[in-house]
Structure 1
Amino acid sequence: MKTFTIDEAQSLLPLLESLLKRAIDGKGAAQEVESQLAALGRRIYLAGGMRVNVEEVGRLRTEMDAHLRRVRESIAEIDSIGVQVKDVDSGLLDFPCRVEDQVVLLCWRMGETAIEHWHTIEDGFKGRQPVDERFKRRSNSNNRPN
């Protein structure tokens, strides 16, 4: 498992925020197309059957698949960096971090200006605590020459 210092995690935020925005936008667009398909299905049902525009349905499904592919690709790219996507809708990410021989998770949510919280793997988001000096010491110790 890749681990990050707080400085490394912080430096990734612009890229990660862009990828999250792409995933959130793609998910929203896919949900909109899904609503259009559901409405079409309701109209067909309520009309007792009607002539279906197969091309239109095919276009909508292709469009929805493209949006969902964009979501999956964005999440996969974040995952390949070593960052854990906890919730796409709120843009919640966790960064594994080693502090005092324990792996904990730096926790960031879209809209926050910096990584200012962490939690244990077991406690999750509900156990968020403010980042303290232990994280900054680790960050600074990586900058010293050997």
Structure 2
Amino acid sequence: MPHFFTLEEANGLLPKIKPLMAELLAWRAKIIEMRHEVAGILQDTTSNVGSPATSALVQDFMAIDRLLAQIHEYGCEVKDLNVGLLDFLAEIDGREVYLCWRFGEEEIAYYHDLHTGFGGRRRIPR
């Protein structure tokens, strides 16, 4: 059975999640910065197996995977790593929705229906 977050509960997790998301976004920036090197490694995996560059890349992706797993352990979903977007399953007015938080926002102030995504964000009624 899925866990439904209250707004208070989801906001209470942000101090734990924000540093993890900041680290994820830093890893993302590093990978983007290295995209040409990464592409070269991935294009020739047979001769690059076991190379220091391949080993470092694998370690980088393992670090990203660990951070994603840590965030998922809190019960929220990483929706977009480009902007640091998280969703928390919740219920508003008897409807299942996602409480929606984007990295840089102080607190969760928006939600959207399960099928609309970020484009359907609306302010949470107070």
Q: Output the TM-score relative to the length of structure 2.
A: 0.83
Q: 1:13 to 1:37 in 2, by over 3 A?
A: closer
3-state DSSP class of the match of 2:107?
Answer: coil
Instruction: Could you tell me which runs of 5 or more consecutive residues in structure 1 were left unpaired when the two chains were aligned.
Output: 42-51, 134-146
Q: Are 1:69 and 2:62 an aligned pair?
A: yes
Q: Name the counterpart of 1:24.
A: 25
Counterpart contact for 1:34–1:64, Cα < 8 Å: no
RMSD: 2.4
In structure 2, the residue matched to 1:104 is 97
Say if 1:37 and 1:89 are closer, same or farther in 2 by CA, change over 3 A. Answer: closer
Q: Which residue of 2 aligns with 1:84?
A: 77
For the pair 1:4 / 2:5, whether they are aligned, the reply is yes
Gap runs ≥5 in structure 2: none
Computing the radius of gyration over CA atoms, which structure comes out larger, 1 or 2?
1
Question: Could you give the per-residue CA deviations for residues 70-116 of structure 1, whole angstroms, max 9, x where no partner exists?
Answer: 11111111112110100012000001112233211110100111111
Alignment partner of 1:131 is 2:101? no
**Equivalent residue for 1:58?**
51
AA of the residue aligned to 1:14: P
- SS at 1:28 equivalent: helix
Task: Tell me if structure 2 keeps the 8 A contact 1:85–1:94.
Answer: yes
- In structure 2, relative to structure 1, the CA distance for the partners of 1:40 and 1:73 (3 Å cut) is closer
Match of 1:7, SS state, is helix
Aligned equivalent of 2:109: 116
Report how many residues are paired.
121
TM-score, with normalisation over the residues of structure 1?
0.72
